[in-house]
Homo-oligomer: A and B are copies of this chain.
Amino acid sequence: MGVREEQKEKRRNEILSAGLDLFIRKGYAATKINDIAEQVGMSVGLLFHYFESKEKLYEELITLGIAGPMSVMDSSGMEPLEFFERTAEQIFYYIQTESFSAKMFVLMNQAFYNEAAPQRIRDMLQDFDIYTPTTALIEMGQANGTIREGNPYALAIAYWCAIQGVAEQMAQTPDAPCPESNWIVDIIRRKV
């Protein structure tokens, strides 16, 4: 890759990174193209040289997000409880070590649940329903005695909401101490 293309790539990444940062702090609508350009230290016009529109910039972030940390979730060949332990651990590990992945995780959640995100992007995410597969896993874990009794769907909600709540908080206040993933897993773990 020529030095110029590299430079271009680098510039785009700066924009993406500033955008990610601002989008999770303010939300899509409240983040002004102006803010992003300012944070990168470039003119607004130049930003449009790199990205066709605010929505396209956002879309590129989401696309990165889909390809990236979401792949954490692979339950093949694992005990149900083990899956939840591993997943929580992974995500909390990312939260602490790779702020990009952590922020991405938060962004995806926002895009999924916030009605203000662009419709086309919300559609892209529709397939990523985590509740259906994990509710099934919880039922299995209840059957083999490792996961506590109770409405499996409600358990899945408690688990994911807790994780996502912590991720959001950590993205917002990175200096605060990060909870341990085990504490969260205790939401669903059956007591011995």
Contact = CB atoms under 8 A, between A and B. Distances in A.
Given A27-B116, A114-B26, A157 B183 contact: no
Given A30-B27, A161-B162, A162-B161, A150 B183 contact: yes
A158 interface: yes
A166 interface: yes
Interface stretch (A5-13, A43-51, A63-71, A169-177): A169-177
A53 interface: no
Contact of A30 (B29, B148, B161, B168): B29
Contacts of A183: 148, 150, 155, 158, 187-188
Nearest to A172: B113
A79 B168 CA distance: 30
A183 B147 CA distance: 12
Q: Which of A29, A153, A161 lies at the interface centre, i.e. has the most chain B CB atoms within 10 A of its CB?
A: A161
Interface string A110-130: 000111100000000000000
A165 interface: yes
A184 interface: yes
Contacts of A163: 165
